[in-house]
Amino acid sequence: MILVVVFVSIFIIICILDVITPHKYPIGPTRIPLLGSYLEIQKLRKKLGFYHLVWDQLSKSYGQVFSVKLGLIEAVIVSGYDAVRQVLCKDDFDGRPDGFFFRFRAFNKRLGVVFVDGPTWIEQRKFCMQHLRKMGFGGDLMEKIITEEVNDLMIDITNKCENGKSIEVNGLFDVSILNGLWAMLAGRRFALNDSKLARLMELVHVSFRMLDMSGGILNQMPFLRFLAPNSSGYKDIKQILVEFYTFLKESIDEHKYGKNDQEDFIHAFLMEIEKNKESPGSFSEQQLLVILLDLFLAGSETTSSMLSFVILHLLKHQDVQDKVHAELDSVIGDREIHFEDKKRLNYLEAVLMEVQRHSNVAPLAIAHRTIRTTSLQEYIIPKDTLILASIWSVHMDKNHWGDPEVFRPERFLDSTGQIINDSWLMPFGVGRRRCLGEVLAKTNMFMFIAKLIKKFEIRIPHGAKLPDKHQDGVTISPSPFSAIFIPRR
C-alpha cells in the first residue's frame, strides 16, 4: 500500500512539474501532463491542414513569441520579421535539436552537418564547403553540369510530350536536380529513368510528408515506438533509413575498393578519414554517411518542389509566362543561356523571387535550439529549448507586403525595372546557419526555368484543373498536376 502511495505521489509531482513554466517564459496553449499541447495542436492542424497555419492561428491569441509543449519537448514558436531575424542571427540560438529522432537518423549519435552544432558543425561545414568548391560548387563547372542536366531533361520532355501529351510535373525535376549535386559528391550521374534512384526519390518525398520540422511525433513522444511502431511511423522511418544508407554505403564502397576513382567529395572525405585514423575526431565513415544523407535530402526535395511551384504559377498566370518569354527573346535571342545572364533578366528574377515568397516551400526554418539561457524580446528562454521560426509569417505579412496572398512579381521591381532586394525575403534563412546549398538552388532555379521557357510554351491540359491545396510536411510541395510542353518554333 505504501509503495502505491509513493508511486502515485511521484507521478503527481512529475505531472505538476511537466506543466509548470519558468519565470518570464512565453505563454501558450494549455498543457496536459505528458502530452503537453499535443491534442490542441493536432485539432488545429486537422482544421487548418498545415503546421505553419497552426502557429499563425496560435500567435493571434498568444503573441508573436509563444510556447508550446510538444509531448516531452519544450518549444518556442517565433513569428514576425524582428523576432525571426533575432532567432536566426543571434548566436544563442545557433544550436540544433538533439531529440530521439535526430539521433535515430544518425546511428544514435549527433552526426552530419545539418543537425549538429558547436565545433563539430564549424569543422564539418568548413570541410564540406572547401571540398565542394573544389568539385565545382558555385563555379563554372557547376553551371556546366546543370546545363547538361537541363538539356537532357528538355530532350526527355520533348519525347514525352509528342502529339500534345501531358506529363506529370511533380517529380519531373527530381533526378535532374539530384544529378547536379551527385556529380560533385560521388563523381557520377544517373539516367533519368534510373529505377533505383526513382525509388530513393519516392522515399524522400514520403519521409518529408511523414515528418514536420520538430522531428514529428517520434521526437515528441519516443516511447510510442514501443507501443505503436506502425502508426507512430517508427517502422516506416527505420525502413527508409535502411534503404538510404544501403545506397549511400554502396557509393562509398565503390570509392574504397577502386570501382570509382573520381576525385569527388566522397574521395576527399575518405582521404581525410585515412589521414586522421590515429585520432579520427569527427571524421568517420558514419559521419560521411550522415553528411551524404543530409545533402541528398536537402539538395533534392526543396529545389524540386520549388521548380514545380514555378511551373504551377506560370500555368496559373499565362501573362507572366508570356512576359518571361518576351524578356528572354529580347535579352538572349537565339544564343545559349548562361548563368551570367541572370543579372540582365530582371523580370524572370522577380518571378523566381515571388514564387519563393508566395509558395513558402520551407515555411519554418530548420529547427534551432538555445545553446544557453538567453533573452528574446521581453522573455527569458532557457537553455536547450527548441525554437521554430516562421519564415511564412515574414513572407505573408500584410503590413509589409500589402497583398501577400496575391502573386505579383512586380513587387520586386522598382520603377526603372531593376531588382529590389527586400530583406523580408528569406527563403534560405539568414545568419550563420542559412542554407548550405543556396548557391546551387538559385543556379538550378534560374537555369532550368530560363531554358524551359525559352524552349517550350507550357499550357494546362484540356479540361484539367490546377490544384489550390498543397501537401504539408517538413516542406510544402504542390499537389499532383500535369502540364503540356509545346516546343516553340
Which residues sit in the known binding site for heme?
A: 435
**Cα–Cα separations (whole angstroms), residue 292 to 154, 207, 247, 289:** 28, 16, 11, 5
Residue set of the binding site: 435
* Closest to 478 measured CA to CA, from 487, 469, 486: 469
Phi and psi torsions of 454, nearest 5°: -65, -35
- Cα-Cα-Cα-Cα dihedral of 310, 312, 315, 321, to 10°? -10
Q: Do 443 and 387 form a contact (C-beta atoms < 8 A)?
A: no
Q: Do 447 and 339 form a contact (C-beta atoms < 8 A)?
A: yes
Q: How far apart are CA 281 and CA 104, in angstroms?
A: 20
Q: How far apart are CA 295 and CA 291, in angstroms?
A: 6
DSSP 8-state symbol, 50:
S
Non-local (6+) Cβ contacts of 313 within 8 A are 320, 351, 354, 355, 358, 359, 407
* Closest to 376 measured CA to CA, from 117, 90, 144: 90
Q: At which residue does the C-alpha cell 543561356 appear?
A: 337
Q: Do 330 and 467 form a contact (C-beta atoms < 8 A)?
A: no
* Closest to 222 measured CA to CA, from 101, 115, 102, 69: 101
Q: How far apart are CA 429 and CA 438, in angstroms?
A: 10
Q: How far apart are CA 181 and CA 299, in angstroms?
A: 7
Q: What is the 3-state secondary structure (H, E, C) of 320-331?
A: HHHHHHHHHHHH
> All 3 cell numbers of residue 415?
520603377
